[in-house]
Structures are given as C-alpha cells and as structure tokens.
Structure 1
Amino acid sequence: MTITDRLSPEALARARRLLLLATVLMVGLVFVAPVSRVIAETVDPSRATVTGTVFDDRDGDGIRDQNERGVPGVLVSDGAGIVQTDGQGGYRLEVDPERRITDLVFITQPSGYAVPNDEFMTPRFWADLGRLAADDEKTADFALTRVPGSESAEFSFANIADPHVNPQLPEQIREINATKDELDFIQVSGDLTNSATNAEFEAYLAATAESELPVWPAVGNHEYQSSAGTTYAARIDNYRKYVGPEWYSFDYGNRHFVVIENNGQASSAEQFEQQLQWFRRDLELNAQDKRVVVITHQPMNLTFGGNRAYDVYGELLEQYGAELVLVGHAHSNDAEANSEFISTAKHVQTNSSSYTVDQTPRGFRYVHMKGDTFENPFRVYGMDHSLVLTNPVPGASIAAGALDEIQVNAYHTSDEVTRVVYQLDGKGPWFRMTESGEMSWYSAWRGPRPSAGRHSIEIQAHGPGGTLWSTTETFTVTTEKPVVPAATNDWPQHQGNERHSGVATENLGRDLDLAWIYRTPGTFLTGSPVIVDGVVYAGTRDENAEDVSAVHAVDLATGRKLWEFPTDSSVSRTVAVHDGVVYAQSLRANLYAIDAATGELLWKRSPEAAPEPYVQRRWGGWGVTVAEGKVFWTHAERFGPGASGALEALDPKTGTTIWLAPMVNNEMAGGTPVVDGGRVFVGNGGGNGGKVLAYDVATGARLWQSSNALSGTGGGVPSVGDGRVYVGEDNAVVARDVVTGSDLWIHRSTGPSLQSNDAVTSTAAIAGDTVYMGFPDGRVTALSAATGAVVWSTMVPGDIDQGGVFGSPVVTGDTVYVGANNGHMYGFDRATGAIVWDYETGAWNATGAAVTGNTLVFGSWDGNLYAFTKGS
C-alpha cells in the first residue's frame, strides 16, 4: 500500500496544493525580507520614494486640516511593497519606477472608514503618481471618512461581472441602486471593457457615474490593450490610469476583500511571484481576524478559467478559511460550495451583464453578509414589478374540481419580494401566500370555494420599504369534470427521441387546460422534461449553490413528487430515460445513472483526477442521449482525455467506457449528442459557433468535421432527419449533409437579436418536409427542410432582457408549441404561423415541451413544471 492509498481525498488535495506551492515558490524568493524593503534587494537598485499621511478627514473635504489626525496601522502599497502607517498616520514607501508605466500607490481601506469616491463613483483608494524616475520623491496623502455602522458583520453589496461597456450598463447600474434595502457598494468582477481603449473606459465610467454607491473594479482579460505594446506594463497601463491598480484589497465590516489578477497576463516569473508574495503578505497583515472574500475575474473550477499556476492561491486561502470567491469570465451562472480549489469557500460565478454563454437571463447578485454566514441570490435584469397569476389561468374556464390552489409569479429586479396576498371577488379577507424558489408564491384555496360562474381575484405583491404592486384577473368556474393527465407513448429524451426531432404522435389540439404545477426551489432553463411510463423526469439548476440541483420524478396523473435525487451541481440540460434508468449529467461533469422507479443511484462516472500537484477543472453542461445500446455524453476537463472536449460512449448497465473520442474545444465543449443512421453528431461549443462533428456510433471514429459557417459560442443542440443535420447559432440555422458534413443551406433570421451574442439554443423540430425553429430576435419560423426557404415566420413580443425565443419547438397535430423568453408559452398554427394558444408564466420559458397521451409538460425559469391536458 502506498502513502496515497492511506490518505483521505481531503489530505491528498492538501498535499497536492502544498507541492504546487513549493513549486511556485522555487521560481524566486524575492520577498525573503519584510515586504516594505524587498524591492531594494532586486538586481536594479534604482528607487523612487513616496511619503504621505493617511488621515481622518472629519469634514470630508479631502484636505488635511490641523485638527484631523492621522490614522495608524493602515497598509500602503504599490502592488509590490507593503508598509503600515505609523502612530501619526505617516508612511514612507520605496518603489521601483521601472515596474509600471503609470505608477500608483494605494491603501487598504480599513473597516469603519471609507475612501472618497471620484466623479465616476470609483473609490479613490489610489494615487496616480504619473511616471516616476529613479530618485524621485513624491507625496501622496489619503483621506478617510468614518462611516458609522460599517464595522458591522451584517451588510450587503452587489456583484456584477463582464459588463463589456454594453449599452444597457447605465440602466443596470440604476436598477441596482433602486433597491430599497441597505446596500453598501457594487463590485465588478472584470471585463469592464472589450479592448481597453480610452473610449471604452470612458463609457464604462459614464455608466458607473449613474451609481449612488461606490463601484469597486477588478481586472478582466479584456482590460489589456494589445495595441499599446508587448509588455505587461504597457498593456495594463490604460486600466491603471482609469480605474486603479490591478490587485489590491479593502476591508468592510468583518470581511477582508482581496482583488487579484488571474488572467495569466502577469505571467513572467517575476510578475507572477510579485503578486503572489504581495497576496501572501496582505493576508498575513489583514486576514488574521477577518473573514476573507476573493474577487477575481477567471473561474478557478472551469476548464477555460484561470491558468493552472494560480492553483497555488487556493492553498494560501485555505489557511485563512476564505469563505467566498466571486468571479466572472465564463458569462455563465455557476455557484459551487466547498470547491476543490478552496475547500472552505463557495466559488460563485455570475453571468455577464452584456451577454450570456449558458443562455441564462442576464443578471447580477446581491451578497448579504450575515455575521458568520452569507447569501448570494442571483437577480435578473429588466423585470419591473412583474406580477403574473399562473393558477387559475386568467380568462380561462376552469372545472370546479380543478380549483385546488392559487399560484402567482412575482418579481422585481431591484428587490426581493417579501409578501404576496390575494383576495377573491373584491371582498372578504386577504390571504397570505407561501414562497417557492425566487419567483413563485402559492396557497391552497382558503375560505369558500368559488361557485360556478365568473370570478375575480386581486393579487398584491409587497417589497421592502413599503412598496406594493397589484393585478386583478378574472376566470370562470364550470361544472365540468377536470381532465386527468394520461400517458400513451413515451417521450424519453430531448425532443422525444435520439434524433431530437420534436414531433409527437399524439394530437393535443389547441384547447389546453392547466392540470397541475409542480414546484421546485431551483430553475429550469434549456433542460426539457421527459416522460416515461407515466412519470415525468426533469433536472433542476442551482443558481446560488443552495443544494437545490436535483433530478425530480413526478407522477404525470397527479403532479405529485415520487422521488428527488440530489446532484452535486446544476443539471443544465435534458436527462434521458432508458430501460428503467435515468441518466443525468451535472455541470461538474458527473454522470449519474439513477433507478427510475426508486431514485437510488446505480452508478456514477466522473472525469479522472488532475496530475499532481494541480486541481482538476471540469465542465459538463449538456444533456445525455441513449441509442444503439450506448449512453452518449460529452464532458471537458483541464487535464486528461477531456482536455479538448470528449464525446464518450458508455455501457448503459455498468457505465464502463465503450469508446472515447476527442472533440476540438473544451470551452463549454459538447452539446447533447444526436444519433441517426449509425452516426452520432455533436455540436462543439466555445469559439466554434455552429460547428458539428460526426462520429461512427460503433467505433467512435470521427467521420467529418463541419465548417464553422456560423459564429457564436455554440449553444445549439443538433437534430437530424431525412439526411440532414440541423443546428442553430448566430441568429441562424444551418442544414448539413449527414454523410459529408457539407453545408446545404443557411437561414439567418431577419430581425436584430434580442440576445447580444445571437445565441440559438432552440433545437429544430423536423416534421415531414418542414423544419420549425426559434430565434433570439423573437421569431418562430417554419422553413423548407430541403432548401431553407421560409414557409412562415411569426414575431413574438419582447425586449432586450425578456425577449427572443430559446425554447425548442414541439409539433403535435396541426400545432407547434414553443416557449419564449418573454414569459409566454405559445401554440402556433402549423400551416400559417398564427398564434392559437398562449399561457404566461412571467418567467423565461426556454425548455422544450414533452408530450404524451393527452398531456403537454414544460419547465420554466421559475423552477416549476407545468402540465396541460387536452381540453374537454
């Protein structure tokens, strides 16, 4: 038995990190002496000297008066050396004038104080010294203002990521500031700009000037101006001139916030070691009695995140029990508690305020610090006092026997809803409702049941600060008996079968009645429900790492839970069911085989571990397909066979590998596989847009690799039929020959996309000689399968935040059902495109529907499954 056999997984992880730490430290022991003297010990002895005072600016004018004392013990740094102010608040710091072009000196804002904000609401914790020369002597004083209550362990701030100077940024800043809750500051996790130009930084600052709160920045990989030169100092200079140093720290309450650069740009041995040792010293001086929060740009748990050399930071942060890491970069939502990178911390990735790659609604987070705990709820932009009655259906005729409960979706971007009440027919008591997830409120009917006839119901939603908004709807109660959902044919995987064709054998018609709503605390996005043997199966996402990701089994007839299987992270796409087994993949690239009857785990597959001393990074945000005696899944890792993305075929009973084939990209690589005619097709994401790869089902040999005719991030899932494979991207759909992979035709939707990366998540439904597709410009379009010619195209309403069609169309009889981001599920006339049915949830409806017997089921961003039956 080796020593690794005797060590626990936790001990092994720690040993790996210690080895990595030792490896990195061997690069150079630059900081052997106290950090404030270290620069003098480098090869180049030229120095400039900066002196000054950090003082208590009692009148807030930024000028030190005689009665304004210095503040002792404040840290002052240039990003390399660190000194502390003396008993009178004075400091002396020697800096290397060759280290950067624009030389900055900055302080660590101490708890209980605030630095002043400039006209753009950027905290001015830093002083711009211009370009120093050897032997220069400069003075930089720093004003601090006492903030009563800011030493409390309970406070809140907002976290946004990757704004990329998008046109909506000023309004997004205003939405955050509009909160009625106490909010102390805003923090941006990098990619403020696209190319780090003067014009982009000025646009970013014009947006932050809209804020009433300070806005703390972090450097992203788009903050390096490539046209400025080849050196790190040249490329980072614009960032430094406009918003300050690229690594720094500040205190608020009982938390120490440390902002670091992990984009791999400061990658020379000297630069890397300089930040690492500054980081080490900062923690030694600040983190002994505070809880640590890390703010950086690139995720440390994804294949395309921070360079593996930065794994060493995890070991240092674990020593101080870091509790939270806030990142961006991937334009996706992914929150992971107790990550492998830092086992003590929650690793929280927030999607982009500009455009998203995982196709989640654009948004931000509030982070509520509550003593020794915290919450990090995700908030969706652009929802202004939304209030939608989902049950009973407004304007509908409802069988008296179906009136078992009331449900409402209530949401406001700036504030969390605190209370919802309802009143029937404008009289009698107001009844309180119970919250479910981030949007839904429900209640069993209270008081007398409504009699046959027309009724009204008024709903009131309440928020903090006494805010209130309301709506009144009507419905008609009938004496008819409600229709009970009943199954016939199975709908076992995405879009009904391994070809993803999206066509039901049943004809549901256009008069659908709500049968039941099944609530979960998670969310549904592009992962559709499936139905087998009268049971609905669906996987939920977890936007906040609150242990709500799971696979749910629901009785079709009643909408009651049969079982729930928790997963380690979000189940982002569609599960598959075959021969009594549910196959589900999680975002951390774990594949679960679950007994369909009992919900018990049968087997589990995970990517292999990273080589010593590194941490493995994994991604598995796609669905599973079962066909020809194999389970097909895609996954990506930083190390191992998934380093370029992997398509793998497994034995359904045991999970053993039959074959594994590399793809061409591990940046969100994959796509739910589609199988037909002895071939398996998969979209390959990242920068490859609508590229499709084809493999031999039996051997895994790659048969062809398509063109990259469509740009984008590869969010589409292919479908196949009649010798053509279809995939969407870039506000378009392309058809390719299944044998050769050659492009046959491309249709680009005619309107401007309401999603700024033009993502197409819709899977084309193929019915006879017609293909049906949803597009991000808000169109649902029927196309000739042979030529791509438009048969009809219908635009649905929407705006930049609640617009576009991400749902996958499903054809049943003469109706096409598809969900839209404007909060509606629509039925379209198959021949003309006219809207013939409409149901509103008030949340994004980006899943496809599942159809069996007399029932249609779909999921919504509100975390609920909705079942409708063919009307009586």
Structure 2
Amino acid sequence: MGSTNELGARGVSPTLRRALVVTMGGMAALVLVNPLVPVVAEVLDPVVATVQGVVFQDKDGDGRKAKTEPGVAGVSVSDGAKTVVTDDEGRYALSIDVDRRTTDLVFITKPAGFDVPTDEAMTPRFYRDLGQLADGAQSTADFALLPNPKSNSDRFTFANVADPHVNGNLADQMRAITSTSQDLAFVQVSGDLTNNATDAEFQKYRTGTAASKLPVWPAVGNHEYRPGATYAARIDNYRRYVGPEWYSFDQGNRHFVVLENNGAAPIEEQREWLRQDLEAHAEDKRVVVLMHQPMNVPFGGNSSYDSFSELLDKYETELVLVGHEHSNDVDTDWVKGAKHIQTNSSSYTIDHSPRGFRYVNMWGDNFDNPFRMYGVEQALSVTNPAPGTSVSAEGLREIQVNAYQTTDEVGQVRYRVDGGEWRSLNKSGDFTWFGPYAGSAKPAVGEHTLDVQAVAKGGAKWQKSSTFRLTDAAPAKIEPGADWPQFHGDARHSGVSGDVVRPDLELAWTHRTPGTILTGSSAIVNGVAYVGTRDENGLENNGMRAVDLKTGKLLWSARTDASVHGSPAVFDGLVFVPTINGTLHAFDAADGTERWKREPEPATPNRQRSYSYYSPTVAEGKVFWAYQTRYGKASQGLLTALDPKTGASLWESPMTGSTMSDGTPAVADGKVYVGNHTADRVVAYDVATGTRLWTSAALLGGWQDGAPTAVDGGVFIGSNNGVIARDGTTGATLWTYRSPGASWIAGNATPSAPAVVGGTLYMGFPDGRVTALNVATGSVVWSVNLPGKPYLGGVLSAPAISGDTVYIGSNNGILYGLDRLTGNTVWNYEIGTWVASAPAVSGDTLVAGAWDGNLYAFTTKE
C-alpha cells in the first residue's frame, strides 16, 4: 500500500531516473567513434532492478518461510510486463523496468489449492510493493501460500460488486454480502472503487472492504485515474493502495483474469501479458474475465480492447464481469459463447434498478449469476388474498406471496388456512410463490386466518399471519374501456384517462413472468395489455407479452434480443418494442409475429455499440424513437421518425449529447420534445421535418432521467429530485420546483413523468413525496410523503389520473390511490417489492407492473 520501499532498496524518482539517462547519453558523446554504438545502446536500454524470492506453503500461517515449509514450483511471478515461473524449490528471479511505473510491484498468479493472506482491508496479498526501485537495485519478495483444499473444488461461489464509489454504505454492504449462509469464496469488485483516486478515498474504500469476512479482489475503474501527465502517475495511487492493474488467479477449474480497459494503460504491454498468461494457465481451465468497462455499449471501453476478445476466443472463456454503466445488462457478443454481464452500481444506479450485486455460483462446467438487491431482510407479503381484504369465495382460486432475503435465496414458502395443513407453494421469478387455494372443501363465508412461512436455503425461517374475509359476492369482472396505447396514456404523456376507476378496488388477476418490470409500463389496446420484461441475469426472460385484460391469461409472447426497459407503443395493429441494445421491434398485435426490426447501422471495421433505455411514441402516423451508438450518425443520439408499417426512416435528426443521449419523445402542437443527454435538458423538433427548433439549458443537474410531458403549451420534465416547466414554443424556463426531502434514491434519479390535468401537475419524487403543483406558477397545492427506508423508498413511478384519483407506485412496495384534491390516501395495496412502473387505465381496470416481474390488474368492486 505505502510508497516507501518496504524491502530496503533505495528509492529513485522517475524524474531523477530520466535525468541520469540523459546525463549518461551526454557522456557517451565524448567517447571515440568506434565504441559509440555499444555505449549508446547500453544507455538507451531500460533501467532495471532485480527482484528475487520464493513462493512457499505457509503451513503455520505466520507469513515467513520455515525450513520445513516447501517451496511451490510452477507459480507465475510478474511485474505486469515480464513473467517468470518458480523453479522446483519455488524460487524465482525477475528483472523489472524501474521506469515503467512510479511504484514498483511484483505479483503472483495464485494457484488453485491455495489462498493468499489478506491485509487489514481484506485485499489479497498476492503482490508486493517494492516502493521506487533504483537502477540496479536488488530486492527480495517472498510470497506465502496458504494451503486450502476447498480452493481446488470446481463448485464454489463468489460475489461480484461494481462501482462502489466509496459510498457510505460500503462497509454494511460488505457485511451483508459475506453474511450469506452460502460457502462464499471471495468478493470481486469490478472497478470504480473511488471517485477521484485520492488518498482519502482509497482509505475510505479500504475501510469499507475491511468489513468483509472474505478476500476482496479489485479491478481498476476509470475513476481510479488521478491527475497526471503519464499513465504511471495517474495509476500510482491505485497501485499503492490495492495492487497491480492486471493480474490473474486460479480457483478450482477457473482461471480468473483481471484486466484494465479504461483507455490509458499501454495496450500492447497488457495484451502481450494476457497472451502469455492465457497460454500458461488457461489451456485446461474455464476463463472468467473481470474488468470495469463494458464492451457492448457506447459509453464503454475503447474499441482497441476488442483485440483482447480475439485472444480470449481461443480459450474456454465463459464469463466477462463488468460495471461502469451503473445498470444491469447481459449479452453474448464480445467473446464467442461467453456471457458479458454488467452489474449495476453499489453507489447509485442509472437504469433506476435497485442497487445490488451478484452471487456467481460455479457448478462444475456450468454457472449462474443471480442479481441480489440490497437491504431486504426477511420480506414477506401476501398479495392474494391481501391482508384485511374481502374476497369472493367463488373467485379465490390461488394463494400468492412475495418473499425475499438479500443474502440468501428463499428456498421454500408454505401456507395454511385456519390452522390447517401446511401446503407448499411454487416459485415464479425471484420473489413470487403461488399455488391453488386449499381451504375447506366448500369455502366458508366469513373471516379466515392465513399463516405464511418462508424458509431461506440457509435454513432461516420467518412467518406472517393475516386475516381475510370470504364473501358470497360474484368474482371480479373486468370491462375494458378506452385504450391506453403508449407510455403515460398518450403522445403528450399527459397521464390522464377518460375512464373512471373508483378507488374501491380488488385484485382481479396477476400475470406472472420470470423476468422483472422496472420503470417500463404496459399499454392497453382493444382489451389486451402489452408489457415488456427485463432479464437481470441472462437473455431468456427478455421479451414482450400480450395478456387478455379480462382474464390475465397469456395470448402470446415474443423474445427480444435484450431487456425491454422502456414501454411499448401500440398503433394500427403493431406493437413497437424498444430494447436496451438499441433495437426497435415491431410485432403483430394479434399474434406476436415480428413484422420488422430496426437495428443501428453497422460501423465496419469496428463493432457497433448502441443502446436505448426509453420508449417509442406514436403520433401523427409516425413512430418517434431515439437511440445512441458509439459510431456514426447516432453517436450524439439520434431522434428518428419511422414509417410504422415498414420501419423506414421518414426523417432523422441528431441530438446533443456525448453519453447516454436518448429519451422518450412527447408530441404536442406540431412539435416533438425529447429529454437529452444529462439533467433536464430538452430538445424540440418540428414534427413534420425533424428540424431542431430549440435546445434548453440544463438547470436542475443530475442524470437525465425523465420523460417529458407536453400539455397546454408547456413542457415539464423531472431531474435531481425536482421538476422544471418550460414554454413549449421557445424553451424558456417558466419555473422550477425542488422536492424538499432527502432522497431515498442515491443520485436523486427522477424518472417519474408528470401527469397534468385541470391546471395541476402531479408527480412523484425520489424523496418519497407525491406532490401537486399549480401548472401556471409551480406553487404547491398539496404534498404527501409516502413512507420509505434505505433501499426501499422513493417514488419512481409516473402517476395515472382517473377521475378524482391519482394512482402511483412506490419503492416501498405499495401501490397507492390518492385523492386528487387533497393527496389523502383513499386506497393502497401491498405488493412487497418496488412498484416503479407507471399504472395504466382502461375501463374499470387499473394495471400495474412491479419489480417481481408480475402484472397486477385491479378492478372496481361490484
């Protein structure tokens, strides 16, 4: 960690080293002509030091080699440029270029069957800090290996964390991750340990990882670069505090390679080290790559690192773990046959997903990688029949429960009615358990007791009891009404329905999916609800579903090539579905047949990268859609107007951002408004031609989160726990409002789109407030604070207005109905996990998705 030479070699600064070389070069000029060439050659050679030592079995764990402790042969020892292998006695000698870096390090590739000691911050001591070695210096660096037969097993689990950014929760996160009942081997962090690579931040990071019970293996993020004229200067704090930029280690039949792909490191040097490392260690092992920047998105690693995939293709590379984007994503394009998995940030997320991590379970020749959200301890919610509700005896067909524990997967849920026989439920997704209702043979009208018990795979049990009342009323019956064909109901994103859903609601049905539903919402057309799903762990659960609104039964489903984060739009018999990799699908609304697919243009000879996290909008016979690519015409973001029948471009107009420049368009008064780049910037275009009319400033700060609402000549968009109103004709700011509370959402993400009706704007904020504002002045009409707690608080859902009720979800796991005039709660329903999706309304029915992957339909009681 420190910069002093721990082994006693005299330190020489890089500046002095260079000066000595120049001086020697000048002296060479005085030598006679014939001897000149060898002298100059010697002067230009790298200045080197020699490091030697032994790698040994530390049987007594004291860190010092005893005579009875044997050396370990065949262990790779490297400085990141040169690599040698220990001899039969475990000894090695390595010459290193002392000008290559500021702080000189040597490290080993830990073999399977052994652990390495950890320091006080639980960083593995697989490397030695030699300080700043002088030219010709000789140092000794021994490496202790701790025998551990479990490290030979091909079945093990480790945790993957990304982008902690020295957040104040890091110590608690490490405690939680390593408190699992699973036999966890280690924790790995995919970069961005700090914000600015300062000494104080590295010390804070190390204080956080010290709370781990297990070794924490780091990788370099772009935030580990500090200011400096050279790479050696920029990376030096990282090296001093946590070790080398690239390295490898073995566990069971896996070879782990940690790489630095942030753009400043000498790429040829790292590629050659990787080539030699794979050649030496990967021939008979499965390869796992750990690095920071994803290689499949515009805002990711430099394309020069694509050459690394060519090396990795030659071996059995199965998994690439990255961070950087603060989002969850999986694809298989970078290395053939390998999952390229992006994990969201432990500090703050950009796709608005709950902060979390992964347990990666290696099962011999297979693996899985479940994402786990932080901060959920023994959660248990009965969603049908909900506690305290009255339910039709004829209509109660099943029991449904949501159960979750951050650190241990729930392995069993069972229930009993009125103290009767316990009955097991079946699992759906990560949260939901369901099964047929089995009360008495003939359900008795009246009050009943329901006991539910969850059992984690580690053996922990928790239980809840509730009551419900069976009635002789007829089962809930849904009558579809007006369409809700796209995000927030219409092209303006007004969030207002002409149908009135009274807040005396009962659950009509639940449609379960194996994926997740985040901020994307459903569209309802002709009595069919259409909803997209995300897959946090793979590709299988990405897609679109069409569900009968009356019954909740699946009509058809279609796979998509990536997660559906945005909302579908339905028009003229087609369903337009966006995916996060920048593809827009058009499916037949009747049967799910794909009619066309719009993919970003190629970027030969480079691999094109693209994304689109937002929703298409249909208006004036066109489909408006925004996406961004790494290369080409969409590199600053591109707003397109498409022919709905063919997907052909009618016009294209550039946006204004360099990173994360896409958005959900709103259309009103002959203009298209789209949030763009970061914070609350909005760009306005002519709807007929795509001509850019105006570009606003960004005043609220934060990430560009929201979708604009364009109503009554104004444009409204949220960001950074606030909302801003602009004139739709000029873009001039009319007013701004900041919600007063402390945000439950790290980073103040504000994706909730305002709903506007009758001169009042309604909106949810990440501090947990739902607020009504005067559209003309921005003054508060009313504001209510929905309860929350860390990881389970804040409002990301966009409100839906039906009659006198504001329907909105909360991350506290509850769907609310609020009185439109006062904000008082007039109805609520506990789902038990994030309800960040915007509700949709049709006829007498309210439809809402949740993070559990389920679509819930509520209808007015008879």
Kept in 2, the 8 Å contact 1:56–1:71? The answer is yes
* Equivalent of 1:758 in 748, 753, 765: 748
Which ranges of structure 1 fall in alignment gaps of 5 or more residues? 1-39
Asked if residue 696 in structure 1 is aligned to residue 695 in structure 2, the reply is: no
* Equivalent of 1:408 in 380, 401, 422: 401
1:186 deviation in Å?
0.3
**Cα distance in 2, alignment partners of residues 818 and 44 from structure 1:** 69
Query: Which residues in structure 2 correspond to 1:136-215 (within 5 Å)?
Result: 136-215=137-216
Asked if residue 652 in structure 1 is aligned to residue 644 in structure 2, the reply is: yes
The residue type paired with residue 171 of structure 2 is P
User: Corresponding residue for 2:344?
Assistant: 351
Kept in 1, the 8 Å contact 2:584–2:599? The answer is yes
User: Corresponding residue for 2:10?
Assistant: none
User: Corresponding residue for 1:462?
Assistant: 455
The residue type paired with residue 206 of structure 1 is T
Asked if residue 278 in structure 1 is aligned to residue 273 in structure 2, the reply is: yes
User: Corresponding residue for 2:365?
Assistant: 372
* Equivalent of 1:303 in 298, 305, 322: 298
Kept in 2, the 8 Å contact 1:636–1:666? The answer is no
The residue type paired with residue 58 of structure 2 is D
User: Corresponding residue for 2:614?
Assistant: 622
User: Corresponding residue for 2:378?
Assistant: 385
Kept in 1, the 8 Å contact 2:539–2:562? The answer is no
Describe the SS at the equivalent of 1:322. strand
Describe the SS at the equivalent of 1:184. strand
1:645 deviation in Å?
0.8
Describe the SS at the equivalent of 2:767. coil
**Cα distance in 2, alignment partners of residues 771 and 402 from structure 1:** 38
1:800 deviation in Å?
2.3
Kept in 1, the 8 Å contact 2:744–2:794? The answer is yes
TM-score by length of 2: 0.94
**Cα distance in 2, alignment partners of residues 41 and 457 from structure 1:** 85
1:149 deviation in Å?
2.2
* Equivalent of 2:427 in 421, 427, 435: 435
**Cα distance in 2, alignment partners of residues 278 and 148 from structure 1:** 29
Asked if residue 808 in structure 1 is aligned to residue 765 in structure 2, the reply is: no
Asked if residue 363 in structure 1 is aligned to residue 356 in structure 2, the reply is: yes
User: Corresponding residue for 1:326?
Assistant: 321
Kept in 2, the 8 Å contact 1:81–1:278? The answer is yes
Describe the SS at the equivalent of 2:502. coil
Describe the SS at the equivalent of 1:150. helix
Describe the SS at the equivalent of 2:725. strand
User: Corresponding residue for 1:446?
Assistant: 438
1:41 deviation in Å?
10
**Cα distance in 2, alignment partners of residues 492 and 388 from structure 1:** 31
Describe the SS at the equivalent of 2:262. coil
Kept in 2, the 8 Å contact 1:637–1:666? The answer is no
**Cα distance in 1, alignment partners of residues 632 and 175 from structure 2:** 45
Asked if residue 584 in structure 1 is aligned to residue 584 in structure 2, the reply is: no
Asked if residue 526 in structure 1 is aligned to residue 516 in structure 2, the reply is: no
Asked if residue 264 in structure 1 is aligned to residue 263 in structure 2, the reply is: yes
**Cα distance in 2, alignment partners of residues 541 and 344 from structure 1:** 21
Kept in 2, the 8 Å contact 1:858–1:866? The answer is yes
User: Corresponding residue for 2:495?
Assistant: 502
User: Corresponding residue for 1:292?
Assistant: 287
The residue type paired with residue 629 of structure 1 is G
User: Corresponding residue for 2:17?
Assistant: none
The residue type paired with residue 318 of structure 1 is D
User: Corresponding residue for 1:317?
Assistant: 312
1:826 deviation in Å?
0.7
Query: Which residues in structure 2 correspond to 1:742-757 (within 5 Å)?
Result: 742-757=732-747
The residue type paired with residue 106 of structure 1 is F
1:785 deviation in Å?
0.6
1:45 deviation in Å?
3.2
**Cα distance in 2, alignment partners of residues 661 and 254 from structure 1:** 51
Kept in 1, the 8 Å contact 2:609–2:630? The answer is yes
The residue type paired with residue 641 of structure 1 is K
1:43 deviation in Å?
4.3
1:447 deviation in Å?
4.9
Asked if residue 553 in structure 1 is aligned to residue 554 in structure 2, the reply is: no
Kept in 2, the 8 Å contact 1:707–1:742? The answer is no
**Cα distance in 1, alignment partners of residues 684 and 154 from structure 2:** 55
Describe the SS at the equivalent of 1:149. helix
User: Corresponding residue for 1:485?
Assistant: 478
1:464 deviation in Å?
2.3
Render the CA deviation track for 1:173-219: whole Å, top value 9, x for unaligned.
11111111111000000011111111111111111111111000001
1:151 deviation in Å?
1.1
**Cα distance in 2, alignment partners of residues 274 and 573 from structure 1:** 41
**Cα distance in 2, alignment partners of residues 713 and 330 from structure 1:** 12
Kept in 2, the 8 Å contact 1:611–1:639? The answer is no
TM-score by length of 1: 0.93
User: Corresponding residue for 1:740?
Assistant: 730
Kept in 1, the 8 Å contact 2:181–2:458? The answer is yes
The residue type paired with residue 313 of structure 1 is F
The residue type paired with residue 331 of structure 1 is H
Describe the SS at the equivalent of 2:222. coil
Asked if residue 683 in structure 1 is aligned to residue 671 in structure 2, the reply is: no
Describe the SS at the equivalent of 2:184. coil
User: Corresponding residue for 2:786?
Assistant: 796
1:670 deviation in Å?
1.1
User: Corresponding residue for 1:603?
Assistant: 596
1:425 deviation in Å?
0.9
1:319 deviation in Å?
1.1
1:666 deviation in Å?
4.6
Render the CA deviation track for 1:728-773: whole Å, top value 9, x for unaligned.
0010000111111111110000011111211101000011100001
Describe the SS at the equivalent of 1:330. coil
Q: Quick one: structure 1 residues 288 and 818, their matched pair in 2 at CA, closer, same or farther if it must change by over 3 Å?
A: same
Describe the SS at the equivalent of 1:401. coil
Q: Quick one: structure 1 residues 728 and 41, their matched pair in 2 at CA, closer, same or farther if it must change by over 3 Å?
A: farther
**Cα distance in 2, alignment partners of residues 262 and 302 from structure 1:** 14
The residue type paired with residue 145 of structure 1 is L
User: Corresponding residue for 1:641?
Assistant: 633
Asked if residue 575 in structure 1 is aligned to residue 575 in structure 2, the reply is: no
Render the CA deviation track for 1:289-337: whole Å, top value 9, x for unaligned.
111111000000000100111111111111113111000000001111x
**Cα distance in 1, alignment partners of residues 108 and 118 from structure 2:** 14
Q: What is the root-mean-square deviation in Å for CA atoms of aligned residues?
A: 1.1
User: Corresponding residue for 2:125?
Assistant: 124
Which of structure 1's runs of 4+ aligned residues deviate more than 6 A? none
Which ranges of structure 2 fall in alignment gaps of 5 or more residues? 1-40
Describe the SS at the equivalent of 2:618. strand
Q: Quick one: structure 1 residues 453 and 494, their matched pair in 2 at CA, closer, same or farther if it must change by over 3 Å?
A: same
**Cα distance in 2, alignment partners of residues 119 and 302 from structure 1:** 36
The residue type paired with residue 664 of structure 1 is T
**Cα distance in 2, alignment partners of residues 469 and 483 from structure 1:** 32
- Structure whose CA Rg is larger: 2
The residue type paired with residue 744 of structure 1 is L
Describe the SS at the equivalent of 2:152. coil
1:611 deviation in Å?
1.6
The residue type paired with residue 604 of structure 1 is K
1:446 deviation in Å?
2.6
User: Corresponding residue for 2:556?
Assistant: 563
Kept in 2, the 8 Å contact 1:529–1:849? The answer is yes
The residue type paired with residue 241 of structure 2 is Y
User: Corresponding residue for 2:392?
Assistant: 399
Could you tell me the percent identity over the aligned residues? Answer: 56
Describe the SS at the equivalent of 2:410. coil
Kept in 2, the 8 Å contact 1:303–1:666? The answer is no
**Cα distance in 2, alignment partners of residues 826 and 863 from structure 1:** 19
Describe the SS at the equivalent of 1:825. strand
1:483 deviation in Å?
2.6
Describe the SS at the equivalent of 1:262. coil
Render the CA deviation track for 1:564-609: whole Å, top value 9, x for unaligned.
0110110001100001110001111111110000111111110111
The residue type paired with residue 198 of structure 2 is T
Equivalent pairs counted in the alignment come to 821
Describe the SS at the equivalent of 2:635. helix
* Equivalent of 1:867 in 853, 857, 862: 857
Render the CA deviation track for 1:469-525: whole Å, top value 9, x for unaligned.
111111111111123111111000001100010011112121111000000000000
